[in-house]
């Protein structure tokens, strides 16, 4: 498993596809999941063990789960289940913990939960990279 993070619009998905996915394989785009179809990841990771799965916008998926009424424990267990699956998955997340702390309780919860889940993912990941202006900085 690989974990890629960085600011919004820094080229994280492009970097992941170019570095880790076959450049001549357009079908990889079928294996990119985001906030619109992320609930399928568990099934796909279970069935497609030899396929690279890219989970883009991890942070927005967390936000969607919060907005759907799921509690932090459920979300943490669900993410934990995915990162334990025997598949080649790349998780891409925007850095959202920098800057002004929001006043809204839900925004604070979203940022804190995403941060805690990021720590969990980074501990389990084989590699962690931060992307700035399309350039990778290896963290782990």
CATH code at position 88: 3.40.50.300
Q: How many residues does the chain have?
A: 140
Please give the tally of structural domains in the chain: 1
pLDDT of residue 40: 80
Q: What is the pLDDT of residues 27-47, one digit of tens each?
A: 566 688 889 888 888 777 777
Range of the domain at 22: 2-138
Q: What is the pLDDT of residues 98-107, one digit of tens each?
A: 878 888 888 9
């Amino acid at each position: 498993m690989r974990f890629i993070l960085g600011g919004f619009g820094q080229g994280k998905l492009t970097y992941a596809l170019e570095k880790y996915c076959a450049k001549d394989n357009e079908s990889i785009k079928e294996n990119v999941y985001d906030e619109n179809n992320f609930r399928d990841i568990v099934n796909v990771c279970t069935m497609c063990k030899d396929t690279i799965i890219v989970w883009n916008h991890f942070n927005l998926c967390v936000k969607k789960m919060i907005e759907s009424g799921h509690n932090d424990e459920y979300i943490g267990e669900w993410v934990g289940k995915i990162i334990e699956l025997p598949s080649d998955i790349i998780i891409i997340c925007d850095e959202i913990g920098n800057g002004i702390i929001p006043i809204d309780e839900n925004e604070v919860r979203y940022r804190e939960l995403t941060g805690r889940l990021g720590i969990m993912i980074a501990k389990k990941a084989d590699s962690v990279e931060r992307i700035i202006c399309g350039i990778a900085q290896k963290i782990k």
